[in-house]
Amino acid sequence: MPLILASASPRRAELLRNAKIASAVEPSQIPEIALPGDTPPALAMRLAREKAGALQEKHPEQFILGADTVVVVDQQVLGKPRDGDDALRMLRLLSGRTHQVLTAVCLLGPGKQEDIRSETTVVTFAAVTDSEIRDYIKSGDCMDKAGA
């Protein structure tokens, strides 16, 4: 019985494949919004939990992995861009600067077993030109990533 990945992220599915972990992808459709009082780590952990929890009733006998990533720069949380203009804004903000990437995972198992963990990585982003940013946006690769 494979693990269920409650995410549409091709990168997360690739990580599981590379680790030789059998998995089935079934994205959960929860709104990825911050609630009042959410700190960045709490937001990422809550969303990871909600993504896994959204599939638990449907698959009560399987292990489900939910995950979420947020980017923080100047105490501002960057989620996935709404559109190309939002991606341009985010990438300009990150250009030539150091920021934090917070990723949380939640593993739910039969009997409502739960394991939630998070990790923060400090990332220094190279300075990029508007032309480079626009080329990247045209590729479409930035639209499903926190912080573009």
Residues of the chain with pLDDT under 50: none
| CATH number among 3.30.2020.10, 3.40.47.10, 3.40.50.12280, 3.90.950.10, domain 3-139 | 3.90.950.10
Note whether 64 and 4 are within 8 A (CB): yes
Token digits of residue 97: 């600067």
pLDDT at 49: 96
Q: Cα–Cα distance between 104 and 46 in angstroms, integer?
A: 9
Q: Give kind and range of the element (H or E) at residue 67.
A: strand 64-73
In the chain, where the domains are located: 3-139
Contact 105/56 with Cβ under 8 angstroms?
no
**pTM score of the predicted model:** 0.88
The whole-number pLDDT of residue 139 equals 93
Catalytic positions, written as ranges: 68
Q: What sign results for the dihedral spanned by CA atoms 31, 32, 35, 38?
A: positive
pLDDT tens digits along 33-45: 889 999 999 999 9
